[in-house]
Amino acid sequence: MIDPGSAVKKGSTKPEPAVAPPTKLILALFAGLIFGFLLQKGGAAKFNILIGQLLLQDWTVAKIMLSAIIVGMLGIYPLHQAAKVNLHLKPTRLGPNIIGGLVFGAGFALMGYCPGTAAAALGQGNWDALFGMVGLVVGSYLYAELSGWLKKSGASKLGDYGKVTLPDAIKVPRLPFAIGFAALLAICVVVLEHFTIR
């Protein structure tokens, strides 16, 4: 039974269709194929590379992520400046970001794959990723069970700053900041490459 107070107000949001439009699904199919292909080629579907990163022995994952961030940033911000793309920002909430982040990390270390790389690992034939994938489904439902309480208690809004980017926060124009930040990350990559074996 639905509590009178918790029913969704009709018409408050436009109803989501059960299936997204086909063009979007086809785009998702291509994006996923490329994403999985690149994750596997980069080694991110391998257990030893993922755990090796958490043990600070193998820096492959950091190198993939940093180069994806640098290249991505140098495309998205100019495109955004030219009004060709929307940003897709998630709200900054210090409490949930920190607590959720730490819990996520602990789970990552236990399982050895993260949600995206588990899918890639499965594709590579690392069947053990299935244990964690089942856990991810169960955990997602448990979170949904707790979501009402987390919202009511205010925990999910702890330290809420809304959708805010680094350049917004320090009040500098976005594009120049992004270029500077990408340069800074590039220096990190050079340093990383110099001091790591792999």
Q: Which residues pair with 12 in a beta bridge?
A: none
* Helix, coil or strand: residue 133: helix
Binds another protein (CB under 8 A): choice among 31, 184, 190, 191: 31
Binds another protein (CB under 8 A): choice among 153, 154, 157, 169: 169
> Which residue, 34 or 183, is less far from another protein as judged by CB?
34
Contact status, residue 116 vs residue 40, Cβ threshold 8 Å: no
Q: Which residues pair with 160 in a beta bridge?
A: 93
* Helix, coil or strand: residue 152: helix
Return the residue matching tokens 């292909």.
37
Binding to another protein by residue 186, rule CB under 8 A?
no
3-state DSSP of 66-123:
HHHHHHHHHHHHHHHHCCCCCCCCCCEEHHHHHHHHHHHHHHHHHHCCCHHHHHHHHH
Least distance from another protein to the Cβ atom of residue 183, Å: 13
Q: Which residues contact 71 (CB under 8 A, 6 or more apart)?
A: none
Least distance from another protein to the Cβ atom of residue 39, Å: 6
User: With contacts defined by CB under 8 A, how many residues of the chain interact with another protein?
Assistant: 137
- CA dist 160 and 54 (Å) reads 29
> Which residue, 71 or 183, is less far from another protein as judged by CB?
71
Residues from 95 through 134 that contact another protein (CB under 8 A): 96-112, 114-117, 119-129, 131-134
Binding to another protein by residue 163, rule CB under 8 A?
yes
Residues from 37 through 66 that contact another protein (CB under 8 A): 37-49, 51-58, 60-61, 63-66
Least distance from another protein to the Cβ atom of residue 83, Å: 12
Site map (CB under 8 A) of another protein, residues 133-162, x = contact: xxxxxxxxxxxxx-xx-xx----x----x-
Least distance from another protein to the Cβ atom of residue 181, Å: 7
